[in-house]
A and B are shown apart, each in its own frame.
Chain A
Amino acid sequence: MHFDDTREQANFRKRVISWLEETLPGLRKVGKESSEEELSRHWQKLMHDGGWLGLAWPKEFGGQGLSAIEEAIFNEECVRRDAPIPINLLGILLGGPTIIVHGTDAQKKRYLPKILSADEIWCQGFSEPGNGSDLAGLRTRAEKTEGGWRISGQKVWTSSGHLAHKCLLLARTDPSASKHRGITYFLADTSAFDIRPLRMINGEAEFNEMFIDDVFVADEDVLGEVNGGWQVAMTTLTVERNSVAFNLQVWARQALDRLAAEVMEQGLADDTYVLERLGEFEAEVEAIRIGTIRSTSALSAGSQAGVEGSTVKLQWAHAVQNIARFALELGAIDLVLAGAEGSGYWINRYLRARGHSIEGGTDEIQKSIIAERVLGLPRSRL
């Protein structure tokens, strides 16, 4: 086992670094005047034009035909340089990989290039008001009609729904079958959805509720088999758990580096308690980086993505939460009063991070997955 690059990988890394160093400073200048959303949009365009997106996707559908390792290298260098998140994160992370596994050639051709170019932005319509952890109990209904399906129901907590053109949509197509057997996975257009933003506890509007009233989706936009949607959804969820930490470890790294800088600034570098906590966080953030390298290596050596994603997702959620909580504790009242002297960063980070142990499957559900699938403990849920 080694963690250093092969010669080709080292060359690839060099190319990545030189491109990033050329591109990021200009982006930061743009970033000063634009919103985070515009910045993400612009960043994805630059990545796309430079051929850095879809590194591990097949060439014929706009990808680069490389492996997960190159993707990991690119990502690692981005994290080091505090690069933004591309606007079509969910399309790149979830939509593309799911379509690559389950899609027909026509679907791949139709959808994959536009995910990379961000001409079509995607969201994930899984959770419903009545069903989150118990996703398979979902109630959105799809009725067969000439040439397709008519879908009605309600989705909630849909991240990026307000930006999206397309939705990875789960709906029940056979209410008489057992709950995992009657679900179909649709690639739906969101233009006929009624999408309403929801305000989050940090004041931002990242997620939405979506009301779907008798919306038509054509037969060719069924992904996988009719009534076989649960298997397809499992692909999305597995990819999600594996990739969230992989792609968002930047949030943990950024937070920790910022905390370390503030500790120096405040003259706390000799405080043994502070040092100990910094050490704890550094180890945790490193474990996320290394864990994702290990699972990426395993993936590109041909093994199936499995439950290791649950572990890394738990590690990631906790690291970000603990770092932000500690920063507030150190900074006392001045930091807690958001906005005061630009320190709103920490309270915002702290509040947003509470969602990390909920989104993409809660902590409790990840722990159950580890207990059942790694440890072989008996299952308690139905």
Chain B
Amino acid sequence: MESEISGADLSVSIGGLRLKNPVMTASGTFGYAKEFEPYVNLHRLGAVVVKGISLEPRAGNPPPRIVETSCGMLNAIGLENVGVDRFISEKMESLQAVTVPVVVNILGDTVNEYREIAERLVDVEGVAAIEVNISCPNVKKGGVAFGTVPEMAAAVTAAVKKVSSVPVIVKLSPNVTDVTNIARAVEDGGADAVSLINTLIGMAVDLRSRRPALANVIGGLSGPAIKPVALRMVYQVAQTVSIPVIGIGGIETAEDVLEFMLAGATAVQIGTANFVNPRASEEAVEGLARYVTEQKLISIREMIGALVLS
């Protein structure tokens, strides 16, 4: 293992979870971490977040599932995953070898499903925190996404929080009129932190075939194209709640991380950039260390919410 980067204090704390630096990887963009081992020294990251896990295995959507758009991409993976039981029996072992906190992202069709997944993860060694993806349709409420109705978002949060013994991060959907209402609701529901943003719903058309570019017609937009929207939402939410905020959306470099921290993020997640540069997360950590040293900061925490407004 390589030695830690310089002496810069990059550590941050998320609802009781201590991270040696604020750089996490975003769910669905980092596999189960193992895929990135040839490229990244995983031990240098703040935390890894694994692909979203549901109660039962899901096959996901038909192809094509991804299409590139200007400075971004649309995906309609359809939450393909092996299900919580196989996740625990097949994927946890290699994750336990990762020395940084592993955050398990969960999703469900009903409040009960979320609760049940969280229950099965209790006492599983190596699960440092749970991230709740609430951008999923609530099948009991006509398919309205949990993350778009404050009461539903709060109910899922409370259900997961009640059974979990680790910090619970709630991942917010940007596809709402006022994200601060949802953020407040999940804070009231007991969330230890919020992360945002999930992908923005979008669409692309292939003129030549006159078909939608994705088999699912609509998909989630991610990558540099969404960064301004993400920054705005992180800023608004950080003004609203008192729990830590994890910034996500179009982050590639240490400069991006620092911008999100100024806007109020305590930590960040890197998503789509991992596909382009598998070393993006580690390089961001290196860049943060250089910045802290160059700027003679005592700690990176000085950057959180330090946006100069006047």
Query: Are A and B physically bound partners?
Result: no
